[in-house]
Structure 1
């Protein structure tokens, strides 16, 4: 099997050597996703049957599983799924799964924030969130085997968003945090940390009255819907706002402005959205160090590279730069 990437943070996507592979049959997608969630582990055939059909499998379930595996091998390569009694094993590199890369980036972003490098944390956490294209495991969202994992990944997604907001607040980017935390708070009204970040951002933006209104609205919703009072952390934020506590001011220096050496473009790049999307996915992978664009002279490689660099600046704490390559003078090189 060539270089293959499996994306489950949204509708299932499989890309092998730059080409998308479509798995059309729902049961085949479900089987593949079940094996991916147990990557590198042998999954007994009985468990696969239960995952696909629950407690009422057809009499031909075992043969159907064999057929689905055969179809998947035809599309992904014979080595993609290994037969190991009493079942099957997905033979993939962990880094080929976007959910694995997401969790690694989340961990790295948290470590950067703890170490005091909020600017790096924002860049890393932005890369993590960029991997998401929709709800995790959406192809099997109603299947019992995927419910818990989908919920866990969604919880981590929200954790990642909150971590980035906290890092942005450390950099004094409260105006950006107001907009994003307002959007997320409306979707997840019971996440108290998110509401607390929203309140702090409003306070720093000079909107103390609105910040206190957020607390009152949150308290009302928690009491009416869950019968609970706000937790100690959220109450502490309210009290700090009422007291104009100095702890609410940024504790680190603002983000350092990153100079950009990119040339100004005078024309809009049209018709290259797919290439830009694929290239950005590559350059944001932590296991990719070099991406080379090849093509005939005048085909737009340089313009595409500039557009990629300009759109990728938020994901790299040190910015982007151009390094002009000199022409080869020694034929031996």
Structure 2
């Protein structure tokens, strides 16, 4: 049994797979699943579907709930969607966290980050690879959603980038170097303002024996972060650059960026990797 939100909205059982066709019904299902079995008030669901709910919003929501129940019935899951009448009304979709791919995604991310903090790099690598294998595309594709709900979707994109970023860092610490450069470039193509990824690129070139490549990566990092975003690079990245210029192999190898030493899985708001307030799935 699996509710899939990563790359499409589907309900899968051992016997059948249901694709939710209606965009607003998908939106309701996604909003309920993101609550991971908690009550979702009618007001919360209205605010998840519309930035400015129309006068007919409550009636429309009841229709969408009825259609969702009909879809769930195809997989013998109709009774999972319960209604609460008090306090303005609420709904709950009864699910276990292991039945929702985004919940598994977050759980594995937290486990992988914990292993990184403990220094268990091989175990962390395995767990983060499992988490990333769940990703089939962004959350909420093709569903009706408000800006508030889309902001929650963005948190999963950011969490994925953070996992990829920390996985690269772990592999650098495990001795891999230039073979990681294509992956780092992919991260930077998505998140060009992510300072940690620039640090990984500098280290990958340097530890792979390409000093000129490391210096060029520094130049591109400062141009991107400074000229385009107007940010000063961090003291840590400057220290890494000095270590490269001094050919200080030990300092480059021991470099630890702020993301890898962070104690939580919150990820930073747009632009990707820029300094800012945290958002959470």
Do both share a fold (TM > 0.5)?
yes
Matched with 1:269 is none
Matched with 2:64 is 68
2: CA distance, partners of 1:111 / 1:198: 24
**Aligned pair 1:203/2:200, yes or no?**
no
Q: How far is the alpha carbon of 1:250 from its aligned partner? A: 7.4
Whether the 8 Å CA contact 2:27–2:144 is kept in 1: the answer is no
Matched with 1:80 is 80
Tell me the matched-pair count: 247
Q: Bigger CA drift: 78-87 or 66-75? A: 66-75
Structure 2 spans left out of the alignment, 5+ residues: 256-281
Matched with 1:166 is 169
When Rg is computed on C-alpha atoms for both structures, the one with the higher figure is: 1
2: CA distance, partners of 1:239 / 1:182: 22
Q: How far is the alpha carbon of 1:63 from its aligned partner? A: 3.0
1:104 alignment partner, one of 100, 103, 107: 107
Within-5 A mapping of 1:229-308 = 229-245=232-248, 246-249=250-253
2: CA distance, partners of 1:198 / 1:129: 21
Q: Secondary structure at the match of 1:139?
A: coil
1: CA distance, partners of 2:188 / 2:199: 10
Whether the 8 Å CA contact 2:178–2:208 is kept in 1: the answer is yes
Within-5 A mapping of 1:35-184 = 35-59=32-56, 61-76=57-72, 77-85=77-85, 86-140=89-143, 143-184=146-187
**1:12/1:204 Cα in 2 relative to 1: closer, same or farther (>3 Å)?**
same
Q: Secondary structure at the match of 1:40?
A: coil
Q: Secondary structure at the match of 2:158?
A: helix
1: CA distance, partners of 2:115 / 2:47: 42
Q: How far is the alpha carbon of 1:8 from its aligned partner? A: 1.6
2:194 alignment partner, one of 174, 184, 191: 191
Larger RCO: 1 or 2 (CA < 8 Å, sep 6+): 2
Structure 1 spans left out of the alignment, 5+ residues: 252-333
1: CA distance, partners of 2:15 / 2:218: 49
